[in-house]
Structure 1
Amino acid sequence: MEIKMAMATFLVLLLALVVPSKTEEKFDVRKHLSTVTRYGVAKDVVANDYVASTVPDGCTTIHLNLVARHGTRSPTKKRIRELDNLANRLEVLVRDAKAEAEKGNISLKFPAWLWGWQSPWKGRQKGGELIIIGEEELHHLAVRIRERFPDLFDEEYHPDTFVIKATQVPRASASAVAFGIGLFNGRGTLAAGKHRAFAVTSESRASDILLRFYDCCKNYKEYRKNQEPSVEKLKEPILDEITPALVRRYQLNFTRQDTASLWFLCKQEASLLDITDQACSLFTPHEITLLEWTDDLEVYILKGYGKSINYRMGVPLLEDVVQSMEQAINSKEENLIPGTYEKARLRFAHAETVVPFSCLLGLFLEGSEFERIQREQPLELPPKPPQKRNWKGSIVAPFAGNNMLVLHSCPANNSSKYFVQVLHNEVPVPMPGCDNKDFCPFDVFKERIVNPHLKHDYNSLCGVELVQEPKPVVGKLTQLSRWLFGQDGDKQKNKVEL
């Protein structure tokens, strides 16, 4: 009997070693593509097993703010050219390897798909457009939001009730349209789906400080231009570590640039085409996590917490969000008739919008970093794998990534009547400024999270020159002197620490 028990125990232990645990997940490269990650992969990810707050009974949703990135898109023109150049480069590498193999110097080890490979976007003259996958991401997002907040979207459509804004970039406005189709499906009479026509408004690119504040911010553009070479330098050690490994593995004379282009191809194939057994298969899982980290560093430094100007230039957007909530509270207090006031403000833009806005809310920070930001102190860069980090581009700003600020009216609560709940990619997320809770009294939200940012004026921060009022008339001789010697042209510019 004892022998049988011992044998049974041995078999159990053996199976435990051979059969993988149910909790162990197979490595999926599609979860490691930084901001090229498809929304369906990133959605529902909960950071650090955070348990969301329970909305108290009796609370009603009275307003919703949405700041969303456009859906999955095709490569841009510049990137299409890079992939065409990669095809030419691979042709040379394969030909040289074949010649060396015929001489007996090496054996051919590279995968068969490299023979005659051509970019799926070869010959395309334009790029960057929203693709069908991206349309579906925004459409399904709208359907889920309508189902989640039925009381908000039960009103007859009016452009002042459901305000939809997008940047003038076609993929953003197309995302707004896809979202609107999902949101108002069945609410009209158009076609079989009983669609309803709806308005999408845009501001000129040159003056859109709500959704394209980074394009209008002179000091930020200078900072980014100066910082981009340093970011590329940060990536070089990882590329220099991986490139020799690829050369040994496949007997192809890859350069650092080849490795970077192959990584870009991997991201495009995996995200847009669901192909993971070509470019992505060239890298080991460890190499992919390192390459992902370099991309996350770039997002952090150029769009995120790397410099305060990255997100503080987004203050006009934060002000717009708070203003809309205050208007909703006033409408509630005045008992306005439903349908006569705004119930949702829905915005569609870019990663350069969503990332700074997430930073303004204090999301994805670690430890005491929120307090350090409040004290104007710089933060450390996200740690290198295998160390864990909160900052991951695949979660912070995947395609269709979004922040929702949901305003609740809770009359039964003694401490506060109105609360804000923040959802990132539809998942409640903790805010350090609200004691690491996702459900926060509106007054506390304003005092601890919003107000500290409002002391930074956009025009001063960004070096935007305002039109000056005409000066009093001075003597003609003085005017002529100033005109001749350029004294009027020496405008004093505010110097801002970037």
Structure 2
Amino acid sequence: MAAPRRIVLLLLLLFSVVAVVSNAEETFDVRRHLSTATRYHIAKDISENSFVPSNVPDQCKPIHLNLLARHGTRAPTKKKLKELEALATRLKVLLENVKEQKSTVVPAWLRGWKSPWTGKHKGGELISEGENELYELGIRTREKFPELFSEDYHPDIYPIKATQISRASASAVAFGMGLFSNRGNLGPGRHRAFAVTSESRASDIMLRFHDCCQNYKAFRKSQEPSVDKLKEPVLNEISQELVTRWGLNFTGQDISSLWLLCKQEAALLNTTDQACALFTPSEVSLLEWTDDLEVFILKGYGNSLNYHMGVPLLEDIIQSMEQAIKAREDGLVPGSYELARLRFAHAETLLPFSCLIGLFLDGAEFEQILREQPLQLPPKPPQKRIWRASMVAPFAGNNMLVLYSCPANKSSKYYVQVLHNERPISIPGCGNSDFCPLEVFKEKIAAPHLKHNYHALCSIESDQSEQVAPISKFWQILSWIFPADATQSQKAEL
């Protein structure tokens, strides 16, 4: 009887293991693994650690808030639209090649598939889901900090700034509608008008510093082929798995395009049973990791220039805090000085700024970036990593730096609390606390970066010589074609 009983127990154990694996597969939500294409309501509930926020003393009151938010969920950009159109053509060819093979099991949706955005010629605009993300964030921000948002609106009290890219300025409008809802007399929602200001794209070193920094553009262009090489083995490995699984002759490029489709479908259409279902959870994790590598190298801790070019923004934030303190100590009443500075930009702004203040690092790594030493790349799954772009910069991702006045505190009267996606977050530069004495924040976190000058970091010294050289060659060619006198005449005419 002992042997049959052992067999029964083994079978029960086997069934329980299968059930655990099955449940793990079922609970895997691909929408949590879409890197920077992750929706905000999904991302803000992702928590990879057990960080316990500080208890802010009752006597401490918020006196100023700095917000930096990424735009909300947007439509595919023009470049992505073209890639999805090319994918439709490619899938048609792949299916033609296996048309006669009856044994091939092809997902039904692939046959005759067309991009949901077929016929769309312009892209990148804020969609209704993105509007809601920012509108609701505005409402929650007012509810969380009633002391700061009880005053009547004035552009000098609540300045709102956005880049000239329409999805950022539209996000600022959606946020403002939530923040000031029921504060005006416009329409049933009692909305009110408010100002959103923008700097020219050509000179916006505060919110589009990446667009104005020539050295960064050169660095990024030089690194993109290397990033593609890093991704290549993973894409090729997964392509072989999908060839075996579905019988279609996928290439690494096909996998990249299908992963793009998965992200767009899951984030924008909430569809996870088509392109995303082609991949196993472990494959999704690997694809997410390749995206995170790219973000890390080109926009994050992979190079100090990525975040040092954000120093004008950091300077502006420190200055706004000091102005709020001066206004308070000069005895100005609330409503006569700025209470919140609200900014709306892009992943290329939020990611570097998060790096500037040392988020998503452990203590040893923070010391490394202060010494401007390169960090190791995020470890490959199944190893765990702190750096996940789905948490760092999802759609509508944000950092809030809240300045508190603590008059009864003997050691420091002013503190900065950092909230990431509305949650207090550990600051390695401040002993892993989220509630940091302002002096420590300025000395340990801001000062090491503020020694850098944006224009010195970003200007290419050889610009002038590069501009002169083609002109000199042009005159040299003219001298070959025309005699000396004729060349002088040509110069005069030109």
Q: Same fold (TM over 0.5)?
A: yes
Aligned position for 2:218: 222
Counterpart residue type for residue 52 of structure 1: P
**Partner of residue 78, structure 2:** 77
Deviation at 1:94, TM superposition (A): 1.0
Counting matched residue pairs gives 456
Report how far residue 99 of structure 1 moved: 2.6
5+ residue gaps, structure 2, are: 1-8, 465-474, 477-494
Map Cα deviations across residues 429-478 of structure 1 (whole Å, 9 max, x no partner): 1111100000000011000000000111111111167x99xxxxxxxxxx
1:333 correspondence with 2:329: yes
Distance 2:373 2:333 in 1: 47
Q: Which amino acid aligns with 2:155?
A: P
Task: Measure, in 1, the Cα distance between the counterparts of 2:308 and 2:451.
Answer: 10
> 1:91·1:116 contact (CA, 8 Å) conserved in 2?
yes
Partner of 2:450: 454
Runs of 4+ in 1 over 4 A off after TM superposition: 9-21
CA 1:343–1:300 in structure 2 vs 1: closer, same or farther (change >3 Å)?
A: same
SS at match of 2:125: coil
1:12 CA drift (Å): 11
In 2 relative to 1, CA 16–409 (structure 1 residues): closer, same or farther, beyond 3 Å?
A: farther
What's the offset of the Cα at 1:357?
0.1
Residue deviations 1:79-127, cap 9 Å, x none? 10110111111111112111344xxxxx121100011000000011100
Offset, 1:13: 8.0
Are 1:167 and 1:203, in contact at CA under 8 Å, matched by a contact in 2?
yes
Which residue of 307, 314, 317 maps to 1:311?
307
Tell whether 2:251 aligns with 1:255: yes
Alignment check: 8 A CA contact 1:217 1:464 kept: no
Shift of 1:398: 0.2
Matched with 1:189 is 185
Of 436, 440, 445, the match for 2:441? 445
Is the 2:32–2:46 Cα contact (8 Å) retained in structure 1? no
Cα deviation digits, residues 142-169 of structure 1 (max 9, x gap): 1111100001000000000001000000
| In the alignment, structure 1 residue 95 sits paired with structure 2 residue 124 | no
Is the Cα–Cα contact under 8 Å of residues 44 and 427 in structure 1 kept in the other structure? no
Amino acid at match of 1:444: V
* Mapped contact 1:46–1:427 kept (Cα < 8 A): no
| Structure 2 partner of 1:320 | 316
Asked if structure 2 preserves the Cα contact closer than 8 Å seen for 1:162 and 1:344, the reply is: yes
Q: Which moved more, 1:23-32 or 1:36-45?
A: 23-32
> Do residues 398 (structure 1) and 402 (structure 2) align?
no
- Taking structure 1 as the reference length, the TM-score comes to 0.88
Counterparts of 1:314-463 in structure 2 under 5 Å? 314-463=310-459
Structure 2 CA distance for partners of 1:341 and 1:225, relative to 1, 3 Å: same
Name the structure with the higher helix share. Answer: 2
Cα-to-partner distance string for 1:167-186 (whole Å, 9 max, x where unaligned): 00000000000000000000
State the Cα deviation string for residues 412-436 of structure 1 (Å, max 9, x = none): 1110000000000001111111000
Distance 2:276 2:178 in 1: 34
CA distance in 1: counterparts of 2:48 and 2:252, whole angstroms? 33
- 1:147 lines up with 2:138 in the alignment: no
Offset of residue 18 of structure 1: 7.0
Secondary structure, aligned partner of 2:296: helix
SS of 1:92 mapped into structure 2? helix
Cα deviation for residue 140 of structure 1 reads 0.6
**CA RMSD for the aligned pairs?**
2.2
Matched with 2:29 is 28
2:133 aligns with 137
Matched position secondary structure for 1:145: helix
Shift of 1:378: 1.1
2:258–2:275 CA contact under 8 A, matched in 1 = yes
CA contact (8 A) 1:67 1:403 kept: yes
Partner SS, residue 368 of structure 1: helix
Q: Is the 8 A contact 1:44 1:425 kept in 2?
A: no
Residue of structure 2 aligned with 1:178, choices 157, 174, 199: 174
After superposition, the C-alpha distances for 1:215-244 in whole angstroms (9 at most, x for unaligned) are: 110100000000000000000000011001
Structure 1 residue 17, shift from structure 2 partner: 5.4
Residue type of the alignment partner of 2:136: H
Give the corresponding residue for 1:472. Answer: none
* Pairwise CA distance, 1:367: 4.4
**Residue number among 150, 160, 166 corresponding to 2:162 in the alignment:** 166
Q: Distance in 1 between matches of 2:423 and 2:252?
A: 38
Deviation of 1:338 (Å) = 1.6
Output the TM-score relative to the length of structure 2.
0.89
Q: Structure 1: how far apart are the matches of 2:387 and 2:195?
A: 35
Report sequence identity in percent: 67
- Cα distance, 1:252–1:18 mapped onto 2, change above 3 Å: closer
Using the alignment, how far apart are the partners of 1:11 and 1:404 within structure 2? 54
- Asked if 2 retains the 8 angstrom alpha-carbon contact of 1:311 and 1:359, the reply is yes
Contact 2:363/2:429 (8 A) holds in 1? no
State the distance in 2 between where 1:234 and 1:140 align.
Answer: 38
Q: Does the aligned pair in 2 maintain the 1:80–1:121 contact within 8 Å?
A: yes
Asked whether the 8 Å contact 2:362–2:428 carries over to 1, the reply is no
Superposed displacement of residue 366, structure 1: 2.6
Instruction: Report the 3-state secondary structure (helix = DSSP H, G, I; strand = E; otherwise coil) of the residue aligned with 2:286.
Output: helix
Question: Secondary structure at 1:98's aligned position in 2?
Answer: coil
Give the letter for the 1:71 counterpart. Answer: G
Q: What is the identity, as a one-letter code, of the residue corresponding to 1:380?
A: Q
C-alpha distance in 2, partners of 1:15/1:148? 48
**1:471 alignment counterpart:** none
Q: Is the contact between residue 126 and residue 171 of structure 2 (CA under 8 Å) also seen in structure 1?
A: yes
1:63 partner amino acid? H
